Structure 1
């Protein structure tokens, strides 16, 4: 007589949840955010006292819109995308942006103590290159 030595298998649910993949995903996202956050904040590294305006409703820009920042400090120095650019060379530097098929929108961050001549020089350089999409950064008053 033949005898079978197999044990009957009991179908029981798995009571343990494997979270290894979730932990790997969490650490990957943490690393991405740690790298991306300083890059997002890099344009805010130039300290300027922005002009004050009254609080108003703002419209949201298109998500495909690319922005470049021009900062005018009180002493007349100008930075474009984090690089210091003399006002005399700003027109030549902006020509590279004007040659692009879809030029960016320029955010002007101007110190409230900067002169009107500095502002006019920047606007003139933008106008000479045909760059007409401009926004102005301000702070809201109380």
Structure 2
């Protein structure tokens, strides 16, 4: 069989291989476009961590109080948020777990109270109680 006859016989058969080079090119272009379009991660999550031991004495029963000006107190002694976290972390590591009582003032802001409760929860304290709610049983309507 001459060469031209073989060539005509092969051209009549369907092609069994697919050219995937254009598919790969399109996929690479799409990948580059997605990488360019995706924004950079600029948000951070600030996780408070204790920086030292608590500077106040930890008793068997401790009270965290928030006054009307949103000032924090540990057993009547004024402290800031980081010092409270240090104090709570020290209390959580004690072998006999002390009771932490939370007593916000009626005029304390909700935001400060909620963030303090979250701080107490995240510090690892297991014995926790709300106190002073009985003062607010009867609501006054002016």
Could you state the TM-score of these two structures normalised by the residue count of structure 2? 0.49
Q: Larger C-alpha radius of gyration, 1 or 2?
A: 2
User: Greater relative contact order: 1 or 2 (C-alpha under 8 angstroms, separation 6 or more)?
Assistant: 1
